[in-house]
Chains A and B, each alone.
Chain A
Amino acid sequence: DAMVIQNPRYQVTQFGKPVTLSCSQTLNHNVMYWYQQKSSQAPKLLFHYYDKDFNNEADTPDNFQSRRPNTSFCFLDIRSPGLGDAAMYLCATSGSIGGGPGDTQYFGPGTRLTVL
């Protein structure tokens, strides 16, 4: 089945220790997104890639970076995690942007990050 895969599902890191989260997709979608979701809150968009074009949300902290080496993979790097960065990180993909019927976003299962 075509899908969005995230690894690891659970990640524990120490305060200030860099961490990388991984997302891969078999949907061959052009767009990949990273969202942060804290407990009982709505997912918050951090950034997205449209092919190789990187688009950062204005309020995404510099501590968060992303890489997309190819169509299938996208990484979220947190350079110096703080306690406030503990959250579920969700990867999503869509065929294109625009919100239309062909642009629906499909989510992976998420990576739950704990910062000690």
Chain B
Amino acid sequence: QKEVEQDPGPLSVPEGAIVSLNCTYSNSAFQYFMWYRQYSRKGPELLMYTYSSGNKEDGRFTAQVDKSSKYISLFIRDSQPSDSATYLCAMITGGGNKLTFGTGTQLKVEL
């Protein structure tokens, strides 16, 4: 079993839709959780960072962490074609140096 599981998609939605991206993990030592956005042939760009259970909002993006269920989510409201990218969840243990990534979900927002 992989430490981090993420549905690879692809996920195709119409412009304006609410998108839900999810990851599950097995290592209870993970304490810090991130979402990166990666456009085609580019490096990952940090989108959201959280370190406790609950919600964190930044504009159209909301990151949700449920440590008891080992489940994290990223919600995108009013999705735009410019949101079309691969979204990688990543997590790290407290004191750790190594990010453990999900395989990424490819999202396409269509006009």
Q: Which residue of B lies closest to A98 (CB)?
A: B95
Give the interface segment out of B43-51, B66-74, B75-83: B43-51
Q: Are B101 and A42 neighbours in the complex by a CB distance under 8 Å?
A: yes
Residues of B within 8 A of A (CB): 4, 8, 31-32, 34, 36, 41-46, 49, 51, 88, 92-99, 101-104
Number of interface residues of A (CB under 8 A): 27
Q: Are B41 and A43 neighbours in the complex by a CB distance under 8 Å?
A: no
Which of A100, A107, A112 is within 8 Å of B44, CB to CB? A107
Q: Are B103 and A108 neighbours in the complex by a CB distance under 8 Å?
A: no
Cβ-based interface call for A81 (8 A) = no
Q: Which residue of B lies closest to A106 (CB)?
A: B46
Residues of A within 8 A of B (CB): 4, 6, 31, 40-43, 45, 48, 50, 55, 57, 88, 90, 97-101, 104-110, 112
Which of A45, A100, A110 is within 8 Å of B43, CB to CB? A110
Question: Which residues from chain A contact B97 at a C-beta distance below 8 Å?
Answer: 31, 48, 50, 55, 97-99
Question: Which residues from chain B contact A98 at a C-beta distance below 8 Å?
Answer: 94-97
Q: Are B44 and A99 neighbours in the complex by a CB distance under 8 Å?
A: no
Q: Are A105 and B99 neighbours in the complex by a CB distance under 8 Å?
A: yes
Give A100 to B32 CA distance when docked, in angstroms. Answer: 7
Q: Are B32 and A40 neighbours in the complex by a CB distance under 8 Å?
A: no
Q: Which residue of B lies closest to A90 (CB)?
A: B43
What are 12 A-B residue pairs whose CB atoms fall within 8 Å in the complex? Answer: A31-B97, A57-B98, A90-B44, A97-B96, A99-B32, A99-B93, A99-B95, A104-B49, A105-B46, A107-B45, A109-B42, A110-B41
Q: Which residue of A lies closest to B4 (CB)?
A: A42
